[in-house]
Amino acid sequence: MGEKVFGKIQYGKEVTKGTAVVATAMFPGQIVVPSDRKVMFPRYATGRKSGAIASQINQYLVDGATLGMEAAVFEKLPLFFSCGLKGNITATEVTAGQADYLWAFAPTLTAAGTYDALTIEYGDDTEQYEVEFCMFRSIKISGKVGADEPVKVEGTFFGRQISDSAFTAALTPGTLTPMIANSVKIYIDSTWATLGSTIKSGLLREYSIEIITGLHPKFMGDGQLYFSTYGEGELACIADFKFEGNSEADAQWDAWRAQTNRAIRLLIEGPQIGSGEKNKLQIDMFGKWEDVHPLDSEEEGNNLHSAVLNCMDDNQATAHILDVNVICDSNAI
């Protein structure tokens, strides 16, 4: 009998996309994988009222699957962004000898990108499965200040097919450094060049950032029922915020009405790594307010504004829309 306590998720970065690899790390979160195929029962004219006499499967595809962390940790952030925003990153040590590795995810906007793909193993003590060629369609980071909760991270991914498997042995979770929702700062400026200059320390109450990667599976006429490659669509990002209903929130309402450019940095920090840098997730975005709604809600008698940032190309010679930096003690996804 399968026992929930023995359930786990493991993964490995593929050398060749679509060729399954053994797992190299354990994932400390949750996974939901829908069926990878639909059975069709064609109705042939048989002269009998018994209905179908055959079945067929037309395609294999895992889509709409989710991999998430209800209590996110810094060490597992690179796997999401490597398989959705920019891959083949070489993490560099910031402080010599401290294993404080910087992952810089700066997607190109003028050429095809490079991305990693995963083989994911999941199951319990009775049965194990794997999905190859896994890449993220979207990545969401969210948290609520003052709610006594962690940061949440979830990625929606596609993959080729579900196969019987067996867990790669002898893997452990490794170091896991919690991401705390309260440990967040927001900076708001008007240009990418000045991004990160102006902290707004009395403003942010809640945040949810969703990155739409544009990645999708592509089926070709190669005689296979599964997809053989992937394509790139438009990179997009939508950021939803709850602001304290104060004069600074009203200033953002003014910026919405005037459609003033906004360069926003969301910074979530964790404990220091040795005597080096702190654990960090830094998301830099450029765009304009799609909506700022004063007095949208209240919490314990405090009026709150809602605000939605629609990320845009800043239309400069070196184009920017979204950059993500991660610092953690791991240099491999």
pLDDT for position 317: 84
User: Between vectors from CA 330 to CA 328 and to CA 333, what angle results, nearest 5°?
Assistant: 110
Band (pLDDT 50/70/90 cuts) for residue 4 is confident
- Domain membership flag for residue 43: no
- Domain membership flag for residue 333: no
pLDDT for position 232: 97
Comparing 84 with 50, the larger pLDDT belongs to 84
pLDDT for position 2: 82
Mapped onto helix, strand or coil, the DSSP state of residue 70 is: coil
**pLDDT higher than 90, residue 182:** yes
Task: Give the pairing type, strands 229-232 and 215-218.
Answer: antiparallel
- Domain membership flag for residue 296: yes
- Domain membership flag for residue 246: yes
Average of per-residue pLDDT across 139-161: 98
Euclidean distance between CA atoms 144 and 78, whole angstroms: 22
Average of per-residue pLDDT across 224-241: 98
Query: Which residues form the domain of 8?
Result: 4-35+54-328
Mapped onto helix, strand or coil, the DSSP state of residue 290 is: strand
- Domain membership flag for residue 156: yes
Euclidean distance between CA atoms 137 and 216, whole angstroms: 7
Element at 140 (helix H, strand E): strand 128-144
- Domain membership flag for residue 48: no
Q: How many domains does the chain have?
A: 1
Return the closest-CA partner of residue 65 out of 149, 14, 129, 7: 129
Residue type at position 65: A
Per-residue pLDDT tens for 102-113?
999 999 999 999
Dig out the tokens for 303 from the structure.
Answer: 């009026």
**Phi and psi of 248, rounded to 5°?**
-70, -40
**pLDDT higher than 80, residue 1:** no
- Domain membership flag for residue 41: no
Euclidean distance between CA atoms 79 and 120, whole angstroms: 12
- Domain membership flag for residue 287: yes
pLDDT for position 160: 98
Average of per-residue pLDDT across 5-25: 97
Residue 171, Cα to own-chain centre: how many angstroms? 23
pLDDT for position 5: 87
Euclidean distance between CA atoms 157 and 159, whole angstroms: 7
Per-residue pLDDT tens for 253-279?
999 999 999 999 999 999 999 999 999
Euclidean distance between CA atoms 185 and 45, whole angstroms: 67
Q: Is 267 in contact with 281 (CB distance < 8 Å)?
A: yes
Mean pLDDT of the chain: 97
